[in-house]
Structure 1
Amino acid sequence: MVEPELIKNAQAGDRDALVALLREIEQHVYRTAYYLLGNEQDALDASQEALIRIYSKIHTYEEKAQFRTWVQRIVTNICIDKFRRSRPSVSIDEHELVFQAGDNVEAEVMSSFDSEEIREAIGKLPEHHRTVVVLRYLQDFSYNEIAESLNLPLNTVKSYLFRARQQLHSLLRDYQKGGVRG
């Protein structure tokens, strides 16, 4: 969690505070970019672009939103723009995506699959579903934080997550039955 005083000092023009702030958030920014874009180079590019935007727009941050939500909105929007421009084939790999034990459907479904199958299935989700899944299960955002971060109504976020879970369940069921990958 970022110290509020660090944010205020950065907004006031304290360069050391701004550098410290960017260093504190860079891992979270990269992690989100990686899971949304699916490869290291694109994630590094998006992370750099997000950090530059945060650097140049820190003065516009208002405390009515959580800082991490504001940061995630920036990185998510950059990733969505990159995705729309290039429409790459997204394959999420190298990192584990762990679903929370409290989510019964996910826990049951995911318990019988290895992480590669999960990553492949997530990579096949439509962009908006993949985005909410990453924010919810990777970044541990609440539904309200996702709604605020993506500037969506709360019910839309719930709907996207519900549909994403249905799609994941279907994709992973196909894997379990020996379905075709790819």
Structure 2
Amino acid sequence: MVEQGLIRAAQSGDRDALITLLREIEQHVYRTAYYILNNEQDAMDAAQEALIRVYTKINSYEEKAQFKTWVQRIVTNICIDKFRRTKPTVSIDEHDLVFRDNLDVEREVMSGYLAQDIQEAINQLPDHHRTVIVLRYLQDLSYNEIADCLNLPLNTVKSYLFRARQQLQNMLQEHQKGGVSG
């Protein structure tokens, strides 16, 4: 969590505070961009663009929303712009979705398959559903924070998440039954 004093110092022109602030958020920014865009180079470009935007727009941040929500809105909007230019997929590292333990090698292998199945299913979601899934489950934003980030009504966010979870559940059930996979 970014300290409000650091944000205020950065807004007051303290260059060291601004650099510290950017360093604190850079991993979160990159992670969001990577999960949405599924391409390391595109994610690096989007993260850099987002950090530059935070750098240049820090004075426009108001404490109405949480700082992380404001930053997530910036990086998500940049990724949405890239969506319009390319058709991305989400890459999910099995460490993010599956609790792994070293007790059982078979469980390790099955966990890898499950993570791959989940990744493939998320890749098949429409862009707006994929984005809310990434923000909710990979960035751990609340429904309200997602609504703020995407500039959507709260009920729309809830609806997107509900539909996305239904689609994921159906795709994963079909895949487990040996049905059609991506």
TM-score with structure 1 setting the length: 0.88
Q: CA deviation at 1:94?
A: 3.8
Q: CA deviation at 1:98?
A: 2.5
Once the two structures are overlaid, the 10-residue window that deviates more, 140-149 or 18-27, is 140-149
Equivalent-residue separation in structure 1 for 2:92 and 2:140 (angstroms): 19
Equivalent-residue separation in structure 1 for 2:79 and 2:40 (angstroms): 13
Which string of whole-angstrom CA distances, capped at 9 and with x for unpartnered residues, describes residues 55-106 of structure 1?
1100100011110000000000000100111224x2414454428xxxxxxx
2:180 counterpart residue number:
180
2:97 counterpart residue number:
98
2:28 counterpart residue number:
28
CA-based RMSD of the aligned residues comes to 1.9
Q: CA deviation at 1:123?
A: 1.1
**Percent of aligned pairs with the same amino acid:** 72
Q: Which runs of 5+ in 2 are unaligned?
A: 99-110
Equivalent-residue separation in structure 1 for 2:84 and 2:172 (angstroms): 26
Conserved? CA contact 1:38–1:123, under 8 Å: no
Equivalent-residue separation in structure 1 for 2:50 and 2:95 (angstroms): 23
1:57 counterpart residue number:
57
2:129 counterpart residue number:
129
Q: Within 5 Å, give how 1:8-157 maps onto structure 2.
A: 8-88=8-88, 90-94=89-93, 96-98=95-97, 114-157=114-157
Conserved? CA contact 2:171–2:181, under 8 Å: no
SS of the residue corresponding to residue 121 of structure 1 reads: helix
Once the two structures are overlaid, the 10-residue window that deviates more, 113-122 or 7-16, is 113-122
Q: Which runs of 5+ in 1 are unaligned?
A: 100-110
Which string of whole-angstrom CA distances, capped at 9 and with x for unpartnered residues, describes residues 136-177 of structure 1?
111111111111111111000000000000110111112101
Change (3 A) 1:118 1:52: same
SS of the residue corresponding to residue 114 of structure 1 reads: helix
Equivalent-residue separation in structure 2 for 1:95 and 1:18 (angstroms): 34
Q: CA deviation at 1:181?
A: 2.9
In our comparison, the structure showing a higher alpha carbon Rg is 2
Equivalent-residue separation in structure 2 for 1:141 and 1:94 (angstroms): 19
Equivalent-residue separation in structure 2 for 1:25 and 1:11 (angstroms): 16
- The number of residue pairs the alignment matches comes to 171
Q: Is 1:5 aligned to 2:16, yes or no?
A: no
Equivalent-residue separation in structure 1 for 2:7 and 2:94 (angstroms): 30
2:166 counterpart residue number:
166
SS of the residue corresponding to residue 97 of structure 2 reads: coil
SS of the residue corresponding to residue 125 of structure 1 reads: coil
